[in-house]
Amino acid sequence: MVNPAERLAELDGILMDHLLEAGLLQELPEAYRLVLLPLDEPEVAAKALAWAREAPNPEGWPLVYALFLEGRPVRLLLPGREVEVAPRAA
Amino acid sequence: MVNPAERLAELDGILMDHLLEAGLLQELPEAYRLVLLPLDEPEVAAKALAWAREAPNPEGWPLVYALFLEGRPVRLLLPGREVEVAPRAA
C-alpha cells in the first residue's frame, strides 16, 4: 500500500528532475499549484485531485496538471496550453 | 476486461448527460477535442491519453480534459480555465 503523500512527493521530484534535464522548467508559470495525476495509480491520483480541490487558493494561482504514466511524466497541462513532456510513455 | 473504446464512449455519454442536466454545456468551446480521463480506470485513461496524443489535429482544436472518479465526471479542464463538475466525487 503506497502512501499517497509520499508517492506524490516522489513524483514531484521525478517531474522536476525531468523538466530540469529537458530544459522545460521555464515552461512553468511564476506561481502555480501543481496537481500530479499518475493515471495508472488510482489511489494516488484521486488523493492528488481531492487535495487540489480542498486546498485554499487565496492567491488564485493557476493549477498545473502533470499527467504521469508508469511513473514518468508525459504531459503538462498549463493554463491555456500544454507541453508534451516525454515523447512516448511506454 | 473493459474495452477502452466502449468505456470511453460510455463516459462520453455520462459526461454529456451531466453537463446538459447541470446547464454546463455552454462552458465547452465551439470546437474541441475531448480527452476523457477516468483516474481510477488506468487502462482506459492511458488509452484515452494515447489516442489524444496520436490523433492528428490539423485544425488545432483545443483539448478539453474531463477527469472522472468512480465513473462520475468531477472536473473539466478547459483552455485556460477549469469547471468543477460535481461537488464531490465520493
Residue-wise over B20-45: b if at least 16 C-beta within 10 A, else e?
eeeebeeebeeeeebbbbbbbbbebb
A22-72 pLDDT, tens digit per residue, is 999 998 999 999 999 999 999 999 999 999 988 888 898 989 999 999 999
What is residue B83's predicted lDDT score, i.e. its pLDDT?
85
Give the domains, in start order, of chain B with CATH numbers: 4-84 (3.40.1350.20)
A70-80 pLDDT, tens digit per residue, is 999 999 998 87
* pLDDT above 50 for B90: no
B14-62 pLDDT, tens digit per residue, is 999 999 999 999 989 999 999 999 999 999 999 999 999 888 888 989 8
What is residue A41's predicted lDDT score, i.e. its pLDDT?
94
- Confidence bin at B84 (pLDDT 50/70/90): confident
Partners of B69 on chain A (C-beta within 8 Å) are 46, 49
C-alpha Rg value of chain B to the nearest Å: 13
Least CA distance to B36: which residue of chain A? A39
So what's the ipTM on this one?
0.79
Residue that has been written with the C-alpha cell 446547464 in this structure: B23
Tell me, rounded to whole angstroms, the distance of Cα A84 from its chain centroid. 13
Partners of A41 on chain B (C-beta within 8 Å) are 42
A87 and chain B in contact, CB less than 8 A: no
C-alpha Rg value of chain A to the nearest Å: 13
Q: Is A51 left (phi over 0), alpha (psi -120 to 50) or beta?
A: alpha
Least CA distance to B47: which residue of chain A? A39
Least CA distance to A41: which residue of chain B? B42
What is residue A18's predicted lDDT score, i.e. its pLDDT?
93
Identity of the residue in B53, B77, B89 whose CB atom sits nearest the CB atom of A77: B77
